[in-house]
Structure 1
Amino acid sequence: MILPIVAYGADVLRKTGKDISADYPELQKLIADMWETMYASNGVGLAAPQINRDIRLFVVDSQQMFANMDEEETLLYPDRPGIKQVFINAQVEELLGDDWAYNEGCLSIPKIREDIYRAEEVTIRFMDENFTEHVKTFDGITARVILHEYDHIEGKLFIDYLKPLKRKLLKGKLDDISKGKVNVDYKMMFVK
């Protein structure tokens, strides 16, 4: 089932997510709905707070990013062909490498894209959809998408990385998003 994406301004986007257990109600259905919602919205990642759940769950499919690049462009990224992964109760263990800029956007903040600096690599501890624990290191675009989604379960948004002047310049657009004054081709839920 395609779920509505929570728009900027909703309290749930600023909450730190709660850990869940394997007996979380209808977890496998929720994960399936998150994949369906993400793909229907043309996203490459989706976190539970974006569908109005304050839990530590997100999904990432960085393979899609590489599928949309020409072959030469993919050579710029060491993490090709990407991953498709469920992350439950994730905790960042270590950030490595130099910060690098990439133009990011967010399904909860449509029509706004900005260059955001993030670490080259992330080592993260997480459970998969079967509650098997993993500690893995990711780099490149995949690390970036993971860090973006991880921020969501920490109550942080990509715009938080912007300098105060840039945030001030975006205030009108952000206010419009929170009031539902934005046109997107996917279902959204707005703060009233």
Structure 2
Amino acid sequence: MSSAMPYWTGARMASETHQAPSTARIEAFSDGVIAIIITIMVIDLRPPVDAIDAGLVTGVLGPMAPKLASYALSFVIVAVMWVNHHELLRLAPGASRRLMWWNVNLLFWMSLIPMTTAILGERVFLPAAQILYAAVGFACATSFTLLRIHILRQSGSLGNRAAYLSIARSLVGPLFYLAAIAGTFAGPYVALVMFCSVMVYFLFPLFR
């Protein structure tokens, strides 16, 4: 008679009980939410009625330039967050309940990006529109930083120098958006420059 235990009993069962669940479902859910966010932003790009009759440039591209620019800016920002989110979740040892809630917190603030993008596209030089866009950007960047800290703590690498450097670099995002809010009182272009700067800051390291 064989002394081998069935795979669903004994040590095998104990091992599977204590095994941390995969983050695959978190990634899949996040990917779905981010895809919807981008879709909503695209749907908002509706040309004026009968605009094509006035010509492609003067009737469509001209009036829609602020909306197109706002969409492009937000698209790149969301794309950068998606890539970094994918890389960050690879460090997580498992899908804990706290990780799920920190992730949902990030997705909540990201889901507001289409709204602020539409408002900024309609009133690109309006201080209130710029402040609202910056406020949601600040919330997204801060939530991403908190998610990073949690994952680094969960993985046991929070005390490493590389971990502190990644947190410090992540904190640059909230600082950019705070500077953008302050910049709205200096002129209509300062906040827009800050929005582009934070995009460039986080975009270029992705190609290294």
Instruction: State whether TM-score is above 0.5.
Output: no
Pair member with larger Rg: 2
Larger RCO, structures 1/2 (Cα 8 Å, 6+ apart): 1
What TM-score do the two structures reach when normalised by structure 1? 0.27
